[in-house]
């Protein structure tokens, strides 16, 4: 069982930045896919960014060029640097982990392929 705890959410104005962190209870980052997901009120949970054990990343089109996912393996911490925030980025942000890979060996970007989840951290962007 992997326990994940997010932090770093808050309220910012449009154009501002936030950095989210996700601490894992055990060493996961070399073998697990790690991801950030978000869910806005009335909407389905969606993938934001994922990273695999060797640092390969993928992003949702809506955040490309603005968000950066990274990890510190020594500290077991996953990060999401969010710049140029927009009101439509407002959501609860979740960290997730799983070993599942697609047939090509890449991480999935869909929530249904992730088994372990944090409790979430709220991000609110005002215009």
* R_g over Cα of the chain: 14
Q: What is the C-alpha to C-alpha distance for residues 107 and 114, in angstroms, rounded to an integer? A: 10
Would you give per-residue pLDDT tens digits along the chain (127 residues)?
889 999 999 999 999 999 999 999 877 767 899 999 999 999 999 999 999 988 999 999 999 999 999 999 888 999 999 999 999 999 999 999 998 888 888 899 999 999 999 999 999 999 9
pLDDT of residue 34: 94
Tell me the C-alpha distance between 83 and 52, whole Å: 22
């Amino acid at each position: 069982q992997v326990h994940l705890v997010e932090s770093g959410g808050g309220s910012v104005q449009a154009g501002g930045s936030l950095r989210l962190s996700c601490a894992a209870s055990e060493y996961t980052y070399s073998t697990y896919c790690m991801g950030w997901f978000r869910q806005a009120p009335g909407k389905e949970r969606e993938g934001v960014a994922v990273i695999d054990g060797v640092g390969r990343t993928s992003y949702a089109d809506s955040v490309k060029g603005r968000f950066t996912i990274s990890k510190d393996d020594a500290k077991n911490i996953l990060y999401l640097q969010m710049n140029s925030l927009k009101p439509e980025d407002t959501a609860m942000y979740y960290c997730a982990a799983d070993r599942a890979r697609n047939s090509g060996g890449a991480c999935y970007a869909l929530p249904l392929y992730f088994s372990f989840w944090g409790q979430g951290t709220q991000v609110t962007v005002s215009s």
